[in-house]
Amino acid sequence: MSDTHQKRSPEPSRLVLADGRVFRGWALGASGVVTGEVCFTTGMSGYQEVLTDPSYHGQIVTMTAPEMGNTGVNAEDDEAARPALSGFVIRRSSPRTSSWRAEMDLDSYLRERGVVAIEGVETRTLTRHIRDQGAQMAALGTEDVATLHDRAKAAASLEGRDLASEVSTPESYEWSEGLGVWDPEPSVAADPSTRPHVVAVDYGVKRSILRCLVASGARVTVVPAQTSAADILALSPDGVFLSNGPGDPSAVGYGVSCVEELLGKRPLFGICLGQQILALALGGRSYKLKFGHRGLNQPVKDLATGKVEVTTQNHGFAVDVESLAGRCTMSHVHLNDDTCEGIEHAESGAFGVQYHPEASAGPHDARYLFSRFMQRIEASRA
């Protein structure tokens, strides 16, 4: 498919940071003014997955690659029912959409989904500023600079805010869709009633994670973030999955309490926010990173095997590994800054990783972790 779309007449727009730095460009997507924590992601592809990843809730996301929209968008690649991020910042939107899977161009998608965006920004300069000064609140829109600056300064920080409950499903549901034609090694179809039952706690789960669980052989039930341990156990799960999600893990106290009660009763596997909640349930602490890890090319070392994996990541908080001394071990480490990327709790068998093994978008180096979870479930059922 090849299609050139008609762009609107450009309207000046601005991104104004709380520290007063101004970045100018042209309005893209929906009209309006938004605030959020400005951050950047280094992926050269996967912009649709970024737009619909609930982990970006409350953030204005900057894409560092110079052009977005080349391959358009399609319904299949949405990671949630609607975008959760606050705003979208790019250098340039492609004037041409070219992909056999494309159903819509990027600007039309942003307008239809209500995403306020800006193009024409010097994203390299913005990225360097965030790396030097740290992630901070910002305002984006067509208002004057002074008004936007006031909005940015008044915006509430992500620290201490429970954002997971704002993106979680309001009610439980069954998920049965696997990876389909995208699965290089499809699992043998089995009677769903004989498959291990995994309850996935939704703190902002991506659809691709649920597909990977199904592809690994699980029967999946998704439950709201605030579901109690008693209600989860009443569903007779063989394992419990703790999903990714946005914001500060220390604000998700109900999740920590739930996991404390589940430890040792069922195999547990956490990803991203799920790992952080697991760490807090084990008595550890979390802290905010200066500008976070976001992108498709993050190097992580498996300390058990020495193998280095290229991973997909999206998080602004991390686990304080020293706070877990004597409680559990660090299984994976980020090679750029030595931060904790995985934990193992020997006593209960619970484990988690800070990165995204479903890799949508991104490399598939870490998809084996879903099989590891299923193996632990099978061992516990024996």
CATH number, domain at 198? Answer: 3.40.50.880
- Is 272 within the bounds of a domain? yes
Q: Are residues 94 and 43 in the same domain?
A: yes
- Is 338 within the bounds of a domain? yes
CA distances from 52 to 73, 85, 233, 239 (A): 11, 7, 30, 27
- Is 330 within the bounds of a domain? yes
Q: Which of 298, 365, 379, 358 lies closest to 334, judged by CA?
A: 298
- Is 159 within the bounds of a domain? no
What are residue 276's phi and psi, to 5 degrees?
A: -65, -40
Q: Which two tokens stand for residue 1?
A: 């498919």
CA distances from 46 to 38, 53, 83, 123, 158 (A): 18, 11, 14, 17, 24
- Is 142 within the bounds of a domain? yes
143 tagged catalytic: no
- Is 291 within the bounds of a domain? yes
Which of 49, 119, 309, 358 is an active site residue? Answer: 358
CATH classification of the domain holding 75: 3.50.30.20
Q: Are residues 243 and 376 in the same domain?
A: yes
358 tagged catalytic: yes
Handedness of CA 363, 104, 51, 68 (dihedral sign): positive
* Cβ-based neighbours of 136, under 8 Å, separated by 6 or more: 17, 18, 19, 37, 38, 130, 152
Q: Which two tokens stand for residue 141?
A: 């829109």
- Is 315 within the bounds of a domain? yes
* Intra-chain end-to-end CA distance of the chain, in Å: 51
What are residue 92's phi and psi, to 5 degrees?
A: -155, 140
Q: Are residues 338 and 211 in the same domain?
A: yes
d(CA 108, CA 96): 13
d(CA 175, CA 221): 6
Q: Are residues 106 and 76 in the same domain?
A: yes
Q: Are residues 49 and 168 in the same domain?
A: no
Count: domains in the chain = 2
Collapsing DSSP to helix, strand or coil, 54 comes out as helix
Residue with tokens 């030097």: 132
Q: Are residues 317 and 181 in the same domain?
A: yes
340 tagged catalytic: no
* pLDDT (tens place) for every residue of the chain, 382 residues total: 444 445 566 899 999 999 999 999 999 999 999 999 999 999 888 999 999 999 999 999 999 999 999 999 999 999 999 999 999 999 999 989 999 999 999 999 999 999 999 999 999 999 999 999 999 999 999 999 999 999 999 999 999 999 999 999 999 999 999 887 777 666 655 677 789 999 999 999 999 999 999 999 999 999 999 999 999 999 999 999 999 999 999 999 999 999 999 999 999 999 999 999 999 999 999 999 999 999 999 999 999 999 999 999 999 999 999 999 999 999 999 999 999 999 999 999 999 999 999 988 888 888 899 999 999 999 998 7
State which of 107, 135, 154 marks the end of a domain: 154
Q: Are residues 103 and 201 in the same domain?
A: no
Q: Are residues 268 and 372 in the same domain?
A: yes
State which of 100, 119, 154 marks the end of a domain: 154
123: domain range? 2-154
Amino acid at 336: N
- Is 354 within the bounds of a domain? yes
State which of 93, 125, 154 marks the end of a domain: 154
Q: Are residues 190 and 140 in the same domain?
A: no
Model's pTM, two decimal places?
0.94
Which of 212, 258, 272, 340 is an active site residue? Answer: 272
Q: Are residues 215 and 134 in the same domain?
A: no
Q: Are residues 140 and 227 in the same domain?
A: no
Q: Are residues 47 and 72 in the same domain?
A: yes
d(CA 110, CA 140): 15
d(CA 150, CA 138): 9
